[in-house]
Chains A and B, each alone.
Chain A
Amino acid sequence: DTAVSQTPKYLVTQMGNDKSIKCEQNLGHDTMYWYKQDSKKFLKIMFSYNNKELIINETVPNRFSPKSPDKAHLNLHINSLELGDSAVYFCASSQETKITDTQYFGPGTRLTVL
């Protein structure tokens, strides 16, 4: 059974479109995250979210918005896609809200914006 799952695995779309990436974790964790890994392989945290608090990396454009229908899901919605949004997006979860907790990553979604 997959602990953290993401869909789709690959996403190819045109500039200006709006798209969503879904993430689900079945670990019973309280906190979920979204990361962007660019071509240089740096992992940059975009959001961390638990049922009490959303922490946003201030460098993330407001075209990106996390949506959490329940504790097990944290979806990423992106408006007006740009070429620079092309990257691999990873969802992750951890038991508690402490960043020092081990994070479990999903398989990633490779987004290509044409």
Chain B
Amino acid sequence: GQNIDQPTEMTATEGAIVQINCTYQTSGFNGLFWYQQHAGEAPTFLSYNVLDGLEEKGRFSSFLSRSKGYSYLLLKELQMKDSASYLCAVVDSNYQLIWGAGTKLIIKP
């Protein structure tokens, strides 16, 4: 079967750095997305990785290792507004989008 694993919940402090991990086992790989979803709102796009390595975009960075089936989302200089769920989604060989359940990130002052 196809599987996306993320921690259910994480807590971090305002101003700090947090890394949210995602591991996947899918039938093939055609890219990995990270989306942010605030409570009661729609998911919004953060990043898309298809090649190995780190991609930086402001305070957010996303890393991919295809050989390890592993990605992480790195959030720096955490702000209270970063409290949200972070969804990892993988495109498999059939170009189906497989979603993880998301990691709820709680930011404390």
Q: Which residues of A contact B (CB under 8 A)?
A: 4, 40-45, 90, 98-100, 102-108
Contact A104 B97 (CB under 8 A): no
Query: CA A42 – CA B88 in complex, angstroms?
Result: 11
Query: CA A54 – CA B33 in complex, angstroms?
Result: 23
Most chain A beta carbons < 10 A, residue from B41, B42, B89: B42
Query: CA A107 – CA B38 in complex, angstroms?
Result: 11
Query: CA A90 – CA B97 in complex, angstroms?
Result: 15
Contact B101 A42 (CB under 8 A): yes
The answer to whether A99 and B96 touch (CB under 8 A), given A40-B101, A42-B101, is yes
Query: CA A106 – CA B78 in complex, angstroms?
Result: 26
B43 to chain A, nearest CB (A): 5
**Proximity bits, B58-97, A CB within 8 Å = 1, else 0:** 0000000000000000000000000001010101000111
Task: For B87, list chain A residues within 8 Å (CB).
Answer: 43
B44 interface residue (CB < 8 Å to A): yes
Query: CA A98 – CA B97 in complex, angstroms?
Result: 11
Contact B48 A43 (CB under 8 A): no
Question: A43-B99, A99-B96, A100-B91 are known contacts; what are 14 more A-B pairs with Cβ within 8 Å?
Answer: A40-B101, A41-B85, A41-B101, A42-B99, A44-B99, A45-B96, A90-B42, A90-B43, A98-B95, A99-B30, A100-B31, A104-B45, A107-B41, A108-B41
